[in-house]
Amino acid sequence: MKNGARTICILGLGYIGLPTACLFASQSNHVTGVDLNEDVVNSVNKGQIPLIEPGLQKLLLDALRSNNLIAQRAAGSADVFIIAVPTPLDKEIRMADLRYVRHAARMISEHLRKDNLVILESTVPPGVSENLVLPILEDSGLKAGEDFYFSHCPERAMPGNTVYEMIHNDRIIGGFDRRSSELAKELYSCFTKGSFYLTSLKLAEMVKLLENTFRDTNLALANEFAKIAEESGLNVWEAIELANKHPRVNILNPGPGVGGHCLAIDPWFLTEISSRNRMTLLAREINNSMPYHVLTLVKELLGGLKKGSVVTVLGVAYKGDVDDTREAPALKFIKLAENHGFRVKVHDPCVKKFEYALCAIEEAVLDSDCLVLITDHAQFKNIDPEQILPLVKNKNIVDTRNFLERQKWEKSGFRFLVLGDRSEHSG
Ligand SMILES: NC(=O)c1ccc[n+]([C@@H]2O[C@H](COP(=O)([O-])OP(=O)(O)OC[C@H]3O[C@@H](n4cnc5c(N)ncnc54)[C@H](O)[C@@H]3O)[C@@H](O)[C@H]2O)c1
């Protein structure tokens, strides 16, 4: 691998690959972004970002203007290859679906040359780099450590703040050997301001899964606390806020369930390689049960199901101010509500594509018996209860994120129920 500006081929131009490609291009590297999806390739080359991400639009336009980035469907030769393809869950067997990683490795293998560096950024179960990816790359006839270098650098950036976090977060680098780790560190140093920690391939794979399993478990605990608070006539949000004043306590917020391409998936990658997974499985079970819990809150507010009751879902993205609906708890809530006889109308100002039809806010609230805030999009704060008052059939709202201004809604006559809150003021 040459020093200074490099030719970099990034496979996968999604939430992780596209910002990574733009950041490398911003540092005078010549980046080829490869995606199998023609629509993604076309929109990137036109300077249109296919996802919502602050700061990314400008980065992409700058990269295209400087001729340091081009998107295409096929891989070609380069100094560095980076794999940022999806690693979804095979839901039937609850294991990592590694077909995209396998395919990307094959695409690279055809173009691999002496002294290349290959980096796997995708999240994978421990052992996948050595057992699956390296053998495919070595089908090229080149040997890792002798002819080419290989590292696993799991990405830790968070949607909604990806560009900032890619620059500022610390990075874990697992190398096939020391030289592979050092070359990867040198590469990312061009835009990374965080620290680097070098380790082995398999440990780096494990670290990423520990991080997300820890967060998923923490959320499960918060969700359990929310249910306990409801039974005890207390407000869990206030309790968590006060508990977190302790210098060594950091409880996350409860909610309608856990979604996204990381937290709802990665813990399963640990369970597939071990039989000692009681806590991890329990956390998944608790978090997966939350959409049902939200439905019980709706039923309670409505005093049971009445014929033709309409529920309005506000937000289907898995978190606020992003357009990502992967593994989002909203989908399970909608399906459950339909199975229980409700008619469901859905509104999300950030999401363009979803399994259910999305409607404008006025249409979504029309004849509604109960609004259910699932996602904490900032725009929802601007909903004026007075304006929707004439449209709804019954004035009920469940806030699963403790996000809306209770007083404002109650003043307009809404019965307002917050997940995890049965303190005296609750509705
Ligand atoms: N999204 C996140 O917040 C996040 C955070 C940290 C880590 N990760 C990990 O990063 C990886 C990528 O996730 P993502 O959210 O960017 O996925 P994504 O679905 O947004 O994008 C992946 C892209 O890869 C393309 N693709 C699939 N196979 C390909 C191939 N062989 N060659 C070229 N392109 C191919 C797809 O068309 C898609 O556009 C996953 O392993 C994920 O777990 C994601």
pTM: 0.95
Nearest CA to ligand 1 atom 11: 122
Residue 423, in any domain of the structure: no
Q: What is the bridge-based pairing of β-strands 396-399 and 415-418?
A: parallel
- Integer distance in angstroms from the first to the last C-alpha of the chain? 64
Q: Which residue type sits at 411?
A: K
Residue 270, in any domain of the structure: yes
Same domain assignment for residues 144 and 228: no
Q: Domain range spanning residue 13? A: 7-194
Pocket test for ligand 1, best of 45, 155, 215, 269 (most atoms within 8 A of CB): 155
CA of 97 to the centre of ligand 1 (A): 12
Same domain assignment for residues 361 and 375: yes
Same domain assignment for residues 247 and 158: no
CA of 247 to the centre of ligand 1 (A): 36
Nearest CA to ligand 1 atom 15: 15
| Long-range contacts of residues 85-94, Cβ cutoff 8 Å, at least 24 apart | 85/11, 85/12, 85/14, 85/17, 85/122, 86/12, 86/14, 86/122, 86/261, 87/122, 87/123, 87/124, 87/265, 87/269, 88/261, 88/265, 88/326, 89/264, 89/265, 89/268, 94/268, 94/271, 94/272
Residue 203, in any domain of the structure: no
* Structural domain total, the chain: 3
Residue 427, in any domain of the structure: no
Same domain assignment for residues 240 and 179: no
At 316 the three-state DSSP class reads coil
Residue 202, in any domain of the structure: no
CA of 87 to the centre of ligand 1 (A): 7
Atom of ligand 1 nearest to the CA of 156: 6
Residue 199, in any domain of the structure: no
CATH classification at residue 11: 3.40.50.720
Residues 6+ apart with CB under 8 A from 384: none
Give pLDDT, residue 1.
Answer: 56
Instruction: Please give the helix or strand (H or E) that residue 292 lies within, else none.
Output: helix 290-302
Residue 2, in any domain of the structure: no
Residues with catalytic function: 208, 262
Nearest CA to ligand 1 atom 13: 86
Taking alpha carbons only, the member of 194, 197, 198 closest to residue 175 is 198
Same domain assignment for residues 52 and 123: yes
At 370 the three-state DSSP class reads strand
From 136, 164, 194, give the residue that closes a domain: 194
Taking only the tens of pLDDT, the chain with its 427 residues reads 545 789 999 999 999 999 999 999 999 999 999 999 999 999 999 999 988 899 999 999 999 999 999 999 999 999 999 999 999 999 999 999 999 999 999 999 999 999 999 999 999 999 999 999 999 999 999 999 999 999 999 999 998 999 999 999 999 999 999 999 999 999 999 999 999 999 999 999 999 999 999 999 999 999 999 999 999 999 999 999 999 999 999 999 999 999 999 999 999 999 999 988 999 999 999 999 999 999 999 999 999 777 789 999 999 999 999 999 999 999 999 999 999 999 999 999 999 999 999 999 999 999 999 999 999 999 999 999 999 999 999 999 999 999 999 999 999 999 999 999 999 865 4
CB atoms within 10 A of CB 219: 23
CA of 231 to the centre of ligand 1 (A): 41
Residue 348, in any domain of the structure: yes
Nearest CA to ligand 1 atom 18: 14
- Looking at 169-277, list the stretches that DSSP marks H as alpha helix, in order from N- to C-terminal side: 178-188, 201-232, 236-243, 266-271
Instruction: Please give the helix or strand (H or E) that residue 406 lies within, else none.
Output: helix 406-411
Pocket test for ligand 1, best of 85, 170, 265 (most atoms within 8 A of CB): 85
Exposed (0-12), middle (13-18) or buried (19+): which is 202, by Cβ within 10 Å? middle
* Residue 417 CA neighbour count, 13 Å, CB half: 21
CA of 46 to the centre of ligand 1 (A): 20
Chain centroid to CA 402: 21
Give pLDDT, residue 51.
Answer: 83
Q: Which residue type sits at 22?
A: C
Tokens found for residue 413: 């006559």
C-alpha 212/C-alpha 209 separation (Å) is: 5
- Where b means 16+ CB within 10 Å and e means fewer, 354-388 reads bebebeebeebbbebbbbbbbbbbeebeebebeeb
Atom of ligand 1 nearest to the CA of 107: 31
Residues 6+ apart with CB under 8 A from 154: 121, 123, 172, 204, 205, 207, 208
Contact status, residue 310 vs residue 317, Cβ threshold 8 Å: no
Contact status, residue 252 vs residue 290, Cβ threshold 8 Å: no
C-alpha 388/C-alpha 366 separation (Å) is: 8
Same domain assignment for residues 238 and 330: no
CA of 5 to the centre of ligand 1 (A): 25
Give pLDDT, residue 304.
Answer: 75
- Where b means 16+ CB within 10 Å and e means fewer, 48-86 reads ebbbbbeebeebbeebbeeebbbbeeebeebbbbbbbbb
Pocket test for ligand 1, best of 10, 13, 16, 353 (most atoms within 8 A of CB): 16
Tokens found for residue 250: 């950091």
Cα dihedral across residues 18, 165, 52, 210: positive or negative: positive
Residues with CB under 6 A from ligand 1: 11-17, 34-37, 40, 84-87, 100, 103-104, 107, 121-123, 155, 157, 159, 261-262
From 287, 311, 342, give the residue that closes a domain: 287
Same domain assignment for residues 351 and 400: yes
Taking alpha carbons only, the member of 174, 161, 7, 157 closest to residue 84 is 157
Same domain assignment for residues 239 and 386: no
Atom of ligand 1 nearest to the CA of 265: 43
Same domain assignment for residues 185 and 258: no
From 164, 194, 224, give the residue that closes a domain: 194
C-alpha 140/C-alpha 110 separation (Å) is: 6
Greatest CA span in the chain, whole angstroms? 72
Tokens found for residue 426: 């609750």
Same domain assignment for residues 119 and 19: yes
Give pLDDT, residue 424.
Answer: 82
- Looking at 27-157, list the stretches that DSSP marks H as alpha helix, in order from N- to C-terminal side: 38-45, 56-65, 99-109, 128, 134-138
CATH classification at residue 280: 1.10.1040.10
Contact status, residue 354 vs residue 313, Cβ threshold 8 Å: no
Same domain assignment for residues 155 and 221: no
Nearest CA to ligand 1 atom 1: 15
Same domain assignment for residues 283 and 293: no
